[in-house]
């Protein structure tokens, strides 16, 4: 059975001007990602990993080249359309969790659904289920500073799943976790992939990357074959 492509990068470049210099953060990258893939993008600091994630996640535009998400060239969209795509199709998980400190775990997970105009009762029910599925049913009303690092990352993952996105983008999601919690998060990504989600993991940790089906190494903005 032929796999269905969900993301494709064609000759993608991203340059930054710093003073009189031009830095090539991403250089001539070609990449095809199929639905349900769990891939890891690895490389040292400064290799272009996070820049590439920002491009795939429609957080930034390429200097040159084309990026397709569900056969839509996101490089040609207006910001309002990009925001809609980010809200509906992509869930983000970050190293620093990015939880709102004044909101409870439940409220943090409900937040993305507000922007998609989901009914309040449905928001509560869905957020409660997502947190329960991640073993946080007794932590719903706790603020982020009342949770452990592993718990906060699970809240962040639940929030990423709130609008049932097709793609999960995770940028160094285990960077602030110990080895046990890192393994738990990696296993969650494996489970999501088996459920049909496409997972793109950016990491420098090979112990976490090995859980992926495919590993791509970036060096100086290029994929090393």
Q: Does residue 150 form part of some domain?
A: yes
Answer whether residue 160 is part of any domain.
yes
Residue 10 lies in a domain: no
User: At 179, is the pLDDT very low, low, confident or very high (cuts 50, 70, 90)?
Assistant: confident
Specify burial of residue 84 (Cβ count, 10 A radius: 0-12, 13-18, 19+): middle
In a domain, 29, yes or no: no
Domain tally for the chain? 1
Domain-embedded: residue 2: no
pTM: predicted TM-score of the whole model, two decimal places: 0.87
Domain ranges, residue 45: 35-58+79-224
Which tens digit of pLDDT belongs to each residue from 25-78? Answer: 999 999 999 999 999 999 888 888 889 988 988 888 999 999 999 889 999 888
CA distances from 54 to 26, 92, 141, 181, 219 (A): 11, 10, 31, 25, 17
CATH number for position 127: 3.40.50.300
Query: Is residue 25 a part of any domain in this protein?
Result: no
Residue 42 in domain:
yes
User: For 90-121, what is each residue's pLDDT tens digit?
Assistant: 999 888 889 999 999 999 999 999 988 899 99
- Token pair of 59, please? 């957080």
Taking CA atoms, 124 is separated from 98, 112, 165, 199, in Å, by 20, 12, 18, 25
What backbone phi and psi angles, to 5 degrees, belong to 179?
-65, -35
Residue 167 has pLDDT above 70, yes or no: yes
Q: What is the mean pLDDT of residues 196-213?
A: 93
Mean pLDDT score across all residues of the chain = 91
The angle subtended at Cα 7 by Cα 216 and Cα 45, nearest 5°, is 35
Starting at the edge strand that comes first in sequence, how are the strands of the sheet with 72-73 ordered? Answer: 21-34, 5-18, 64-69, 72-73
Residue 8 lies in a domain: no
């Amino acid at each position: 059975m032929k796999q269905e492509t969900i993301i494709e990068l064609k000759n993608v470049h991203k340059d930054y001007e710093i003073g009189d210099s031009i830095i090539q953060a991403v250089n001539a990258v070609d990449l095809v990602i199929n639905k349900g893939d769990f891939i890891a993008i690895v490389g040292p600091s400064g290799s272009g990993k996070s820049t590439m994630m920002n491009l795939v996640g429609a957080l930034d535009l390429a200097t040159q080249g084309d990026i397709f998400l569900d056969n839509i060239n996101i490089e040609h969209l207006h910001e309002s359309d990009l925001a809609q795509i980010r809200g509906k199709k992509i869930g983000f998980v970050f190293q620093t969790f990015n939880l709102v400190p004044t909101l409870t775990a439940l409220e943090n997970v409900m937040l993305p659904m507000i922007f998609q105009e989901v009914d309040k009762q449905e928001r509560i029910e869905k957020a409660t289920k997502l947190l329960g599925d991640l073993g946080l049913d007794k932590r719903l009303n706790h603020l982020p500073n009342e949770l452990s690092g592993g718990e906060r990352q699970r809240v962040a993952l639940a929030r990423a799943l709130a609008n049932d996105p097709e793609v999960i983008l995770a940028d160094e999601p285990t960077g602030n976790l110990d080895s046990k919690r890192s393994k738990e998060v990696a296993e969650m990504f494996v489970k999501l992939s088996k459920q049909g989600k496409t997972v793109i993991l950016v990491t420098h940790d090979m112990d976490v990357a090995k859980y992926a089906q495919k590993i791509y190494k970036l060096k100086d903005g290029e994929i090393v074959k």
